[in-house]
């Protein structure tokens, strides 16, 4: 049975929000860009259209206003975040490039699975794989005459065979997805409980899931659990860090510790801005 979603409308008048910066930063893989800065975003089992307004801002047509106000990170004070992060000269350059970048508040399970898919392939392949998962296992929904598929629940995705996931391109990550769904479905793992713990404790619990890459864990903590006293030091981040910051940190752990110690709850935001800069700017290539 297809669930028909209501149409709700609200506006975003925020000079620190730009869909292109936010949706193409590496946080999500279920968005489509139309002509004239028009956007379609799907998250969980919700959907939203964003249309530019004359004079600035966006009109949002969505299935749930409360969901997308939270999802789009509209409660964060980005003027203050920019001010505090710009105290570091290098971050000033990064922030200027992604001024319209918002931190998305995504669901932990969807974040974990999509980032696990993305870590082994490029954005285009990740988007195709995620869309196929939704079509094959997600709930059918309809919004303003547009049919779409929700992101599958652990119970739904748990029906996917290892062979199916391998054909989707997950290689050894297929076993990780299968194991993750099994643990969630049998109750031996609870993402909700993990979210109640401190950033450090939540990371330790996620790291107990066999086969998860460190950067998948870190990105899930930041994008899915909103644990912002977290920084992800992948190979690229370390390279930029050593070239631009010159603090003497040598290992990935040192890099993460530096950002968490100096920025506290803004470390996750710093990582997002750096990730966006890396993905969309060739200055550091």
Say yes or no: 122 and 190 in one domain: yes
Alpha helices in the chain (DSSP H): 19-23, 65-71, 78-85, 89-97, 108-118, 123-137, 154-157, 162-167, 173-186, 191-195, 199-206, 214-219, 235-244, 252-263, 267-280
232 to 121, 174, 238, 278: CA distances (angstroms) = 18, 23, 9, 13
Whether the pLDDT of residue 240 is over 80: the answer is no
Q: What is the pLDDT of residues 51-106, one digit of tens each?
A: 999 989 999 999 999 999 999 999 999 999 999 999 877 788 788 888 899 999 99
What is the rounded distance in angstroms from the CA atom of residue 145 to the CA atom of residue 194?
A: 38
Whether the pLDDT of residue 169 is over 50: the answer is yes
Q: What is the pLDDT of residues 147-162, one digit of tens each?
A: 999 999 999 999 999 9
At 26 the pLDDT is: 85
Q: What is the pLDDT of residues 127-141, one digit of tens each?
A: 999 999 999 999 999
Say yes or no: 125 and 195 in one domain: yes
Task: Decide if 150 is inside a domain.
Answer: yes
Whether the pLDDT of residue 242 is over 80: the answer is no
Share the mean pLDDT of the chain.
90
Whether the pLDDT of residue 249 is over 70: the answer is no
Say yes or no: 128 and 176 in one domain: yes
> By residue range, what is the domain housing residue 189?
108-224
Least confident of 24-28, 106-110, 253-257, 278-282: 278-282
At 213 the pLDDT is: 86
Whether the pLDDT of residue 283 is over 50: the answer is no
pTM for the complete prediction?
Answer: 0.93
Task: Decide if 170 is inside a domain.
Answer: yes
Picking from 76, 98, 121, the residue at the C-terminal end of a domain is: 76
Whether the pLDDT of residue 268 is over 90: the answer is yes
Identify which has the larger pLDDT, 260 or 149: 149
Pairing of β 140-143 and β 146-149? antiparallel
Cβ burial, residue 2 (10 Å; 0-12/13-18/19+):
exposed
Say yes or no: 187 and 133 in one domain: yes
Say yes or no: 123 and 220 in one domain: yes
Task: Decide if 120 is inside a domain.
Answer: yes
Name 193's Cβ contacts closer than 8 Å, sequence gap at least 6.
none
Say yes or no: 65 and 154 in one domain: no
Alpha helices in 98-189 (DSSP H): 108-118, 123-137, 154-157, 162-167, 173-186
Whether the pLDDT of residue 284 is over 90: the answer is no
What is the rounded distance in angstroms from the CA atom of residue 221 to the CA atom of residue 105?
A: 11
Tokens of 111: 């974040």
DSSP label at 176?
H
Say yes or no: 126 and 54 in one domain: no
Task: Decide if 97 is inside a domain.
Answer: no
Domain count across the chain:
2
- Please give the average per-residue pLDDT across 236-254, as a whole number: 66
- Please give the average per-residue pLDDT across 204-215, as a whole number: 88
Picking from 224, 244, 262, the residue at the C-terminal end of a domain is: 224
Tokens of 124: 């285009």
- Please give the average per-residue pLDDT across 161-173, as a whole number: 92
Whether the pLDDT of residue 203 is over 60: the answer is yes
Say yes or no: 126 and 218 in one domain: yes
At 285 the pLDDT is: 43
Say yes or no: 67 and 148 in one domain: no
Q: What is the CATH number of the domain that holds 113?
A: 1.10.340.30
Q: What is the CATH number of the domain that holds 60?
A: 3.30.310
pLDDT grade, residue 279 (50/70/90)?
Answer: confident
Say yes or no: 68 and 126 in one domain: no
Task: Decide if 31 is inside a domain.
Answer: yes
Whether the pLDDT of residue 239 is over 70: the answer is no
Say yes or no: 217 and 149 in one domain: yes
Say yes or no: 213 and 114 in one domain: yes
Cα end-to-end span (Å), the chain: 49
Picking from 59, 76, 93, the residue at the C-terminal end of a domain is: 76
What is the rounded distance in angstroms from the CA atom of residue 97 to the CA atom of residue 280?
A: 9
Task: Give me the percent of the chain exceeding a pLDDT of 70.
Answer: 93
């Amino acid at each position: 049975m297809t669930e028909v979603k209501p149409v709700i409308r609200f506006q975003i008048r925020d000079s620190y929000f730009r869909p292109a910066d936010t949706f193409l930063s590496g946080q999500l893989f279920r968005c489509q860009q139309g002509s004239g800065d028009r956007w379609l975003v799907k998250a969980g089992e919700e959907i939203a259209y964003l249309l530019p307004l004359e004079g600035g801002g966006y009109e949002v047509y969505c299935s749930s206003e409360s969901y997308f106000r939270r999802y789009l990170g509209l409660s964060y004070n980005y003027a203050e975040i920019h001010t505090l992060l710009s105290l570091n000269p290098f971050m000033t350059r990064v922030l200027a490039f992604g001024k319209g970048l918002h931190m998305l508040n995504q669901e932990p399970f969807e974040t974990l699975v999509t980032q696990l898919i993305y870590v082994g392939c490029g954005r285009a392949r990740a988007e195709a794989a995620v869309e196929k998962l939704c079509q094959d296992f997600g709930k059918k929904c309809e919004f303003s005459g547009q049919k779409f598929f929700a992101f599958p629940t652990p119970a739904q995705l748990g029906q996917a065979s290892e062979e199916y996931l391998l054909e989707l391109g997950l290689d050894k990550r297929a076993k990780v997805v299968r194991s993750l769904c099994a643990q969630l479905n049998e109750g031996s793992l609870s993402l909700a409980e993990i979210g109640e713990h401190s950033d450090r404790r939540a990371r330790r619990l996620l790291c107990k899931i066999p086969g998860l890459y460190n950067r998948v864990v870190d990105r899930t903590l930041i994008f899915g659990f909103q644990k912002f006293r977290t920084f992800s030091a992948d190979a690229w981040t370390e390279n930029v860090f050593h070239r631009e910051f010159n603090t003497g940190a040598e290992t990935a752990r040192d890099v993460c510790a530096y950002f968490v110690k100096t920025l506290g709850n803004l470390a996750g935001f710093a990582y997002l801005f750096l990730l966006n800069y890396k993905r969309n700017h060739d200055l550091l290539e």
